[in-house]
Amino acid sequence: MSNIVDPLVGQIAARVRTERERRRWTLAQLADASGVSQAMISRIERGESSPTAVVLGKLSAAFQLSVASLLALAEGTRDEPEAGAGVRRRDGTDEWQDPGTGYRRRQISGPRFPAEVAEIHLPPGARVPYPAAAFAFVRQIVWVLDGRLTFHDGDTVHELGAGDTIELGEPTERVFANTTDSECRYAVVLTRGTRP
């Protein structure tokens, strides 16, 4: 069984603080760039609050990183196998859970792998919106493994079932929604384009 939330709160806190400091931004500057309050950012950076997927989307957009990249960087702070070892045990992989929706995310690939691969569990009734900037500088494909995903790609809505994929184009506002009464499980495969 995976570890949910607690192991990653501190890692997410450190990653958000590191990304902010790397840009030499104050809390106020990050708040202005992201639309997230200074108080919330401060609580996140101190590890006192686990951000929701929506808040992570806003922060990652301000940093010009994808949510997957921000979380993968946080998860990558753990000890990883040596290059070439390639084995990541399920029990040794942390799973992040959105405290607002119950959305769960587990990083599949390690930080040395050239693509980021994550497994997502979207509970019934969950709706997770992301701003367009969260998709800047990346190429991404979503692959539905189980259940149904209602995917809003800007103004276009796609109903995706098990086995369906969608390759994302230019950045636009996107919403991952589960309008059914069963969990939806999907994979996200992401590669970087031009980095900011």
- pLDDT digit string (tens) for 93-128? 668 888 889 999 888 887 778 888 999 999 999 999
Pair 102, 184 in one domain: yes
Beta strands in 9-58 (DSSP E): none
Distance CA 112, CA 85 (A): 11
Residue ranges making up the domain that contains 164: 94-192
Q: For the chain, what is the mean pLDDT? A: 84
pLDDT digits (tens, 9 = 90+) for 136-156: 777 899 999 999 999 999 999
Would you say residue 24 lies in a domain? Answer: yes
- Longest CA–CA span in the chain (Å) reads 45
Q: What is the pLDDT of residue 75?
A: 57
CATH of the domain at 187: 2.60.120.10
Closest-CA residue to 49 (of 60, 33, 38): 38
Taking the CA atoms of the chain, what radius of gyration do you get in angstroms?
16
- Residue 86 counted as domain residue: no
Domain boundary among 45, 75, 105: 75
Report if residue 55 sits inside a domain.
Answer: yes
Residue 51 inside a domain? The answer is: yes
Q: Map 81-110 to HEC letters.
A: CCCCCCCCCHHHCEEEECCCCCCEEEECCC
3-class secondary-structure state, position 175: strand
Q: Is 137 left (phi over 0), alpha (psi -120 to 50) or beta?
A: left
Answer whether residue 168 is part of any domain: yes
Assigned domain for 98 exists: yes
CA distances from 119 to 41, 53, 61, 87, 93 (A): 26, 14, 21, 16, 11
Helix (H, G, I), strand (E, B) or coil at 45: helix
| Beta strand pairing call for 116-122 and 127-130 | unpaired
End position of a domain, from candidates 75, 107, 139: 75
pLDDT at 77 over 70: no
